[in-house]
């Protein structure tokens, strides 16, 4: 069971651990600001407020899609590492290797896009990357794919190290998931929810990354040896397995922050239940096999495959989302909740995750998907659970850590202003996308018709507000992380009573 101690001693970061964590978080928040700046520029271009040239627009779209997802995984990997290291031994070299490979991969993406002109989007769908029609060369496409490969290999190294640590403590991954308690037995309340969620993502996302590695290597071989012809449908299937699994892992790693932190701010224990273990066992399976809902327009796919994607799409969101949301709401109901930035962000993340998830379930329904798939409903739903879900989870940990450095949960007047600006801007931005999807405004289009401009303009306003709030968050978090811990914070434990007195 997660500790009720606000700042437990075993979470203190010192020496190389602190440097590595700071690198992850500061890099992530800087990348978030840059990717949001790109997103706002594209939205303003669609609103006819800003004139990004067409070729550059699709380069920016490629960078934004790949960069935002990568940045989110970088941030929530730090969330998983921060808490999991309390329960199992994690080697710092694996964390640092992941960071170095991520940065090398990001450099490859930047050079391929802004140096080589690559603009075939994050999906690198075969055979488009090899047909740049003068806009980019096959070598630029190859560099983009190499960047993906480096980022994926880095994350896999981190997962393998985490898996080794978990197996050493719990015997095997099944016991770490709590499978031996599904049908009976007395559940050990000291079994960490963090271990359950981490194990689930190690299993699921390792498979997704391996699928991505296979398709990336196949695509690289095709670029340099065109006589090796790939099956387009099989290639696309692997790409979407990789892409869907990778972004889902970002959310599921981030939810660890809720399990670890919420009870500290509510002052109530967050018990481990059999329903919780069943939910994560089901999610481990569902999140692996749900991705065919991305392929419903590919009628050549086997019928059973699409049917599986449809059925699991309806079921996959409920086990963990409902259990986590219900558990969290019962935990804070009538609690003496301490409303500071971390707790507000944690509750916000529950809303963003659930609401964005329901919008995703709607889009994954075949009859709705036929109408909505190529509309702005799609960026609406995934921006929803990223901006207000996964990013809020990561920001909650960031604010909690800078609070531990000062030995008091952060809640300055600037924080109290930045939070509603972020939430309000995000809702304006998101509902502009969703409304545009309802109006059948197409996604990924550079020029927009005059009838589409009102939602573009509203979305631009929301995007600007989100960007301004994120710039503030990035500065606040960076300064807080680099600040020397106060004597009280460095002196040891900080329980809830001591924090209240401070």
CA angle, residues 164, 262, 172, in degrees to nearest 5: 20
Q: What is the CA radius of gyration of the chain?
A: 22
Given a cut of 90, whether residue 499 has pLDDT beyond it is: no
Task: Assess contact for 245 and 208: CB atoms under 8 A.
Answer: yes
> How many Cβ atoms from other residues are within 10 Å of residue 501's Cβ?
7
**pLDDT reported for residue 492:** 43
**Adjacent-strand bridge partners of 494:** 7
Q: 215 lies in a domain?
A: yes
Task: Assess contact for 161 and 90: CB atoms under 8 A.
Answer: yes
Q: 167 lies in a domain?
A: yes
Q: 2 lies in a domain?
A: no
**pLDDT reported for residue 486:** 65
The domain total for the chain is 1
Given a cut of 80, whether residue 496 has pLDDT beyond it is: no
CATH number of the domain where residue 406 is located: 1.20.210.10
**Average pLDDT estimate for 110-137:** 91
Q: Give residue 500's pLDDT band: very low, low, confident or very high (50, 70, 90).
A: very low
Residues 61-111: tens digit of each pLDDT: 999 999 999 999 999 999 999 999 999 999 999 999 999 999 999 999 999
> Phi/psi class of residue 408: alpha, beta or left (left: φ > 0; alpha: ψ in -120 to 50)?
beta
Q: 335 lies in a domain?
A: yes
**Mean confidence (pLDDT) of the chain:** 90
Cα–Cα distance between 109 and 107 in angstroms, integer?
A: 5
Q: 382 lies in a domain?
A: yes
Q: 3 lies in a domain?
A: no
Task: Assess contact for 491 and 412: CB atoms under 8 A.
Answer: no
Q: 480 lies in a domain?
A: yes
CA angle, residues 98, 345, 362, in degrees to nearest 5: 85
Q: 355 lies in a domain?
A: yes
**Adjacent-strand bridge partners of 375:** 442
Express as a percent the part of the chain with pLDDT over 70. 96
Contacts of 435 (CB under 8 A, 6+ apart): 455
Length of the chain: 502
Largest CA distance in the chain: 72
- Three-state SS for 253-291 is HHCHHHHHHHHHHHCCCCCCCHHHHHHHHHHHHHHHHCH
pTM over 0.75? The answer is yes
Q: Which residues form the domain of 17?
A: 9-501
**pLDDT reported for residue 498:** 38
Given a cut of 90, whether residue 391 has pLDDT beyond it is: yes
Range list of H helices, 111-192: 138-170, 173-177
């Amino acid at each position: 069971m997660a500790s009720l101690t606000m700042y437990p001693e075993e979470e203190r970061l010192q020496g190389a651990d602190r440097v590595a964590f700071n690198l992850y978080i500061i890099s992530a928040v800087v990348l978030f600001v840059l990717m949001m700046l790109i997103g706002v520029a594209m939205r303003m271009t669609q609103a006819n407020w800003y004139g990004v040239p067409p070729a550059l627009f699709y380069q920016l779209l490629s960078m934004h899609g790949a960069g935002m997802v990568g940045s989110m995984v970088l941030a929530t990997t730090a969330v998983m590492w921060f808490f999991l290291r309390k329960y199992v031994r994690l080697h710092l070299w694996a964390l640092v290797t992941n960071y170095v490979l991520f940065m090398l991969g990001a450099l490859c993406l930047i050079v391929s896009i802004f140096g080589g002109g690559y603009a075939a989007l994050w999906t690198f769908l075969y055979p488009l990357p090899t047909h740049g029609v003068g806009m980019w060369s096959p070598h630029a496409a190859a560099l983009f794919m190499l960047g993906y490969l480096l980022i994926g290999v880095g994350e896999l190294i981190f997962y393998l190290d985490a898996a080794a640590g978990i197996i050493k403590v719990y015997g095997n991954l099944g016991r770490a998931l709590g499978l031996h308690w599904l049908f009976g037995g007395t559940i050990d309340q000291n079994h960490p929810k963090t271990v359950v969620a981490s194990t689930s993502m190690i299993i699921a996302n390792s498979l997704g990354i391996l699928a991505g590695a296979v398709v990336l290597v196949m695509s690289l071989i095709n670029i340099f040896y065109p006589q090796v012809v790939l099956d387009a449908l099989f290639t696309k299937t692997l790409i979407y397995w990789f892409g869907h699994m990778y972004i889902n892992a970002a959310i599921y790693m981030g939810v660890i922050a809720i399990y670890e932190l919420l009870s500290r701010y509510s002052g109530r224990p967050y018990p481990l239940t059999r329903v919780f273990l069943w939910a994560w066992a089901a999610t481990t399976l569902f999140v692996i096999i749900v991705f065919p809902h991305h392929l419903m327009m590919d009628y050549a796919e086997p019928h059973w495959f699409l049917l599986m994607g449809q059925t699991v799409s309806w079921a996959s969101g409920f086990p963990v989302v409902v259990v986590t949301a219900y558990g969290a709401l019962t935990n804070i109901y009538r609690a003496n909740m301490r409303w500071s930035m971390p707790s507000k962000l944690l509750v916000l993340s529950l809303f963003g995750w659930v609401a964005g998830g329901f919008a995703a379930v709607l889009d994954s329904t075949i009859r709705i998907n036929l109408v909505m798939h190529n509309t702005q409903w799609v960026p609406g739903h995934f921006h929803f659970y990223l901006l207000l879900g996964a990013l809020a989870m990561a920001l909650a940990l960031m604010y909690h850590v800078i609070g531990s450095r000062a030995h008091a949960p952060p809640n300055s007047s600037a924080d109290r202003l930045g939070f509603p600006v972020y939430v309000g801007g995000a809702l304006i931005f998101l509902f502009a996308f969703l409304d545009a999807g309802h109006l059948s405004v197409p996604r990924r289009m550079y020029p927009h018709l005059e009838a589409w401009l009102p939602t573009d303009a509203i979305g631009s306003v929301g995007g600007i507000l989100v960007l301004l709030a994120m710039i503030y968050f990035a500065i606040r978090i960076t300064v807080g992380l680099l600040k020397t811990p106060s004597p009280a914070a460095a002196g040891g434990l900080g329980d809830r009573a001591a924090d209240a007195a401070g």
